[in-house]
Amino acid sequence: MNMKTIKVRDIVQDDSVLGRYRGGELRRLAVEALQQEPRVRFDFDGIVLITQSAADELVGRLRRYDEPLLDRIAFAHCSEDVSHMLQWAMDNAFSVSERQEALGLKD
């Protein structure tokens, strides 16, 4: 099966994925790649940290608005911290959105 691999470290040029901008950038790359390939794999080799906001932009937003795409995305070489934060973003995708709405912020 064809799969596009996105090497996260090559995109962020650092060992950390920080903030909504970077998380959104990764999400947009995945969505674009999924228009050409049936699956995308994020390779987190060399990444030690992803912030809550970056993880929410990457997987939380997909879960809220385009969940079927998540079935076509895989994650590889995640450190324990990265894995935990990605899982947190998945588990809390809707509660983050509710808090933002309560504060008058748009998602």
Give me the tens of pLDDT residue by residue for the chain, a chain 107 residues long.
Answer: 689 999 999 999 999 999 999 999 999 999 999 999 999 999 999 999 999 999 999 999 999 999 899 999 999 999 999 999 999 999 999 886 555 555 565 55
> What is the DSSP secondary structure assignment for residue 46, as one 8-state letter?
T
Q: Where are the alpha helices (DSSP H) in the chain?
A: 8-12, 19-34, 52-55, 61-65, 67-70, 80-91, 93-102
Total-model pTM: 0.87
